Amino acid sequence: MKRGIIWIAGLLFCVQAAIAQAQPMALSKGSKAPDFTSVNQHHQAVSLNQLLEKGPVVLVFYRGYWCPFCNRQLKQLQDSLPLLKKHNAQVVAISPESVIYVNNTIDKTGATYQIISDANNSIMKRYKVAYEVDASTNNRLKNIGVDLQAVNASNDAVLPVPAVYIINQKGVIHYAFFDQNYRNRPSVKTLLEQLDQL
């Protein structure tokens, strides 16, 4: 009897741990930023370590061209790019959407900074922002004309929690914004204040 209770308790612990690992948790301030190498919208190689040689990096994870909150944020970053560049900061936006749809994002926001299609979700996973969209949400998105399996480069229903990391030149996360409420985004003023501290 006692062994049975211990076995059930162990099983429940493993199930809870698996569920917890499936949830995006984000990286925290003071963490080492995972390096990545990918290709931007101009088909040029982009490496975090190489970018950091020039200055801090503002790393933005967004859901896709179809998200009005993402578009507003990316447009604000574009409009404020001269202010961000005064801090030698480079903006890099990352999305699961395929390159074709990255072009839609650029059309909607006028973004001239680097945008990466995270084709296999590997960057999102390293930064712990990726999550699998549940069937109910996936169906709601399809009802408004957004088929994630068609839009995403990986052909799956994975999105990032909208997140922003400011990474200093030592490769350490100086600022981390992560909010599962996709309507919330940090202001450019907040980002500039954080860059002032570097």
φ, ψ of residue 71 in degrees (nearest 5): -60, -40
pTM score of the predicted model: 0.87
Residue 156 burial (CB count, 10 A)? 14
**Cα of 64 vs its chain's centroid, Å:** 11
Are the CB atoms for 128 and 27 separated by under 8 Å? yes
Q: Alpha-carbon distance 5 to 8, whole Å?
A: 5
- What is the CATH number assigned to the segment(s) 2-196? 3.40.30.10
Strand-pair category, 130-132 with 158-160: antiparallel
The DSSP letter of residue 180 is S
Q: State which H helix or E strand residue 167 sits in.
A: strand 163-167
Q: Which residues of the chain have pLDDT under 70?
A: 1-23
pLDDT in tens, 156-170: 999 999 999 999 999
pLDDT at 23: 66
Q: Can you name the residues that pair with 165 across neighbouring β-strands?
A: 59, 176
